Amino acid sequence: MSEKKRTGISIDAHVLDQLKARNVNVSGLINELLSAHVNDGMPVPEDTARKLRIQQLEREIEDLENRLKAKRNELERVEQAKAEQEQQQEQARREAVEFVKSIRPNFRTVDNSEIQKKAEEADMTVEELLDEAPDEHQPGDFS
């Protein structure tokens, strides 16, 4: 890398504003333009500026692609966590229903603290849990 020297330049304010708006490395652009001018012996600012803009756009595209990939990975992780949570919720519901089915019908009430606990674990109301665990005992069945 060649030695750099600090210098001051004056450019029109609107030009500088445009360059900043496009996130152009002003020092790099000026260095590239002046190098092309000195090395070729003639100004080629439009061609050099376009090449620099192409490079900048390629970098921006690469950055956006990386950000997109990161967002897709994040989406996949969130969807997976959601699916796992839904599976756990469904399992808790099944277990709660089975628990209620194992209780004698006359103890299946909204006041039963064990049913309340199972309903809470399954993220259900007691009424929902009791509705999902219908009484399977037939009239006259005293078991």
Q: What is the pLDDT of residues 44-98, one digit of tens each?
A: 556 777 888 888 899 999 999 999 999 999 999 999 999 999 999 999 999 999 9
User: Do 99 and 132 contact (CB within 8 A), yes or no?
Assistant: no
Handedness of CA 85, 86, 90, 91 (dihedral sign): negative
pTM listed for this prediction: 0.52
One-letter identity of residue 34: L
d(CA 57, CA 4): 26
Spell out the residues 6+ positions from residue 97 whose beta carbon is closer than 8 angstroms to its own: 129, 132, 133
Structure tokens at 87: 């599976």
Query: Residue 133 CB: number of other CB atoms within 10 A?
Result: 19
pLDDT tens, residue by residue, 11-43 = 889 988 888 888 888 887 787 777 766 766 555
Q: Where are the domains of the chain?
A: 14-132
